[in-house]
Amino acid sequence: MPKFKEYLPKILLVDIETAPILASVWSIWNVNVALNQIEKDWHLLSFAAKWLGSSEIIYHDQEKVRNIENDRGLCGKLHKLLDKADAVVAQNGKRFDRPKINARLIVNGFRPPSPYKLIDTKIMAKRDFAFTSNRQEHLLRIFGKKEKYLHKKFPGQLLWTECLKRNPAAWAEMKKYNIEDIRGLEAIYLKFRPWSSVHPNLAVSKEAEFPECPRCGDARVIRNGFSTTAVGKYQRYQCAGCGGYARGSKLVNTVEHRKALLRVI
């Protein structure tokens, strides 16, 4: 085996918080808000991020910014992180975090960050499991992890309202809430990773002459049986790191064997 130079994909865990859309409405039931009713549009309030494998949690917010609606500086910090990532993990990232981030980046004049694979833990939960709820706090509870911090000092919408009023206590609460979201996200992702059938292949970004785990990039993979398709037989591997299974790309059954196979009709 050639000398192994350690390589792990750069996986960034991200969670954003946004300001609400403020509008004038005539009712509280079944309300449709027209564009001319909007008084203030949404923008980024804060984000927390963490490189998988690092103990450092990165956090930035709009607390000290003169114009709280001008999130260009916050977007710049987030763009730099995304630009370095091979993959980004987010809860409900496909429907919320990534499109919201992209919207603020393009509005603020940024070019796209380097392409990255999105790993959405909510999609993982829906695709491979049947939990009572796919909400992060529920998942943490059933896994016996520390539950998501739910900003008890400023419950519900009040936290965002008070942050917009520049309440220092609310911003301290927002920071704690955002950071705890990242810790919870990491715990759920690591729990789901070896089970996931929708996890992107993170080993293809590096050329190697020996197998590496497609989920975590670990080279400690061991042969563990075979995997079969309708006409092919492949070597199966299990990662000693995350525990996930993968298969090789080279057929191990002979041409004669494949020619002799009958197919179900």
Residues 157 and 236 in one domain: no
Answer for the pair 143, 190: CB distance below 8 angstroms, yes or no: no
* Confidence (pLDDT) at 43: 98
Domain C-terminal end among 160, 195, 230: 195
CATH of the domain at 114: 3.30.420.10
Give CA–CA dist 221/232, Å, rounded: 21
Domain total for the chain? 2
Q: Is residue 252 part of a domain?
A: yes
Residues 153 and 87 in one domain: yes
Residues 99 and 157 in one domain: yes
Beta bridge partners of 48: 15, 59
* Confidence (pLDDT) at 7: 55
Q: Is residue 200 part of a domain?
A: no
* Confidence (pLDDT) at 201: 87
Element (H, E) at 178: helix 168-192
Residues 17 and 146 in one domain: yes
* Confidence (pLDDT) at 205: 57
Q: Is residue 46 part of a domain?
A: yes
Residues 40 and 135 in one domain: yes
Domain C-terminal end among 143, 177, 195: 195
Residues 227 and 155 in one domain: no
Q: In 124-142, which positions are buried (b, 16+ CB within 10 angstroms) versus exposed (e)?
A: bbeeeeeeeebebeebbee
**What are the residue ranges in the chain where pLDDT is below 50?**
1-6
Q: Is residue 208 part of a domain?
A: no
Give CA–CA dist 26/115, Å, rounded: 43
Residues 172 and 104 in one domain: yes
The residue range of the domain holding 74 is 11-25+34-195
* Confidence (pLDDT) at 4: 38
Residues 45 and 163 in one domain: yes
Cα 49 to Cα 52, 168, 175: the distances in Å are: 10, 22, 12
Residues 131 and 166 in one domain: yes
For the record, the structure tokens of 41 come out as: 């549009």
Residues 168 and 92 in one domain: yes
Sheet strands (E) in 41-85: 44-51, 58-61
Query: Of the candidates 34, 96, 43, which has an alpha carbon nearest to the alpha carbon of residue 68?
Result: 43
Q: How many CA atoms lie within 13 A of 238 on its CB side?
A: 6
Cα 198 to Cα 92, 173, 201, 204, 237: the distances in Å are: 14, 34, 9, 15, 17
Q: Is residue 132 part of a domain?
A: yes
Domain C-terminal end among 178, 195, 212: 195
Under 8 Å CB-to-CB from 256, ≥6 apart: which residues? none
Residues 77 and 165 in one domain: yes
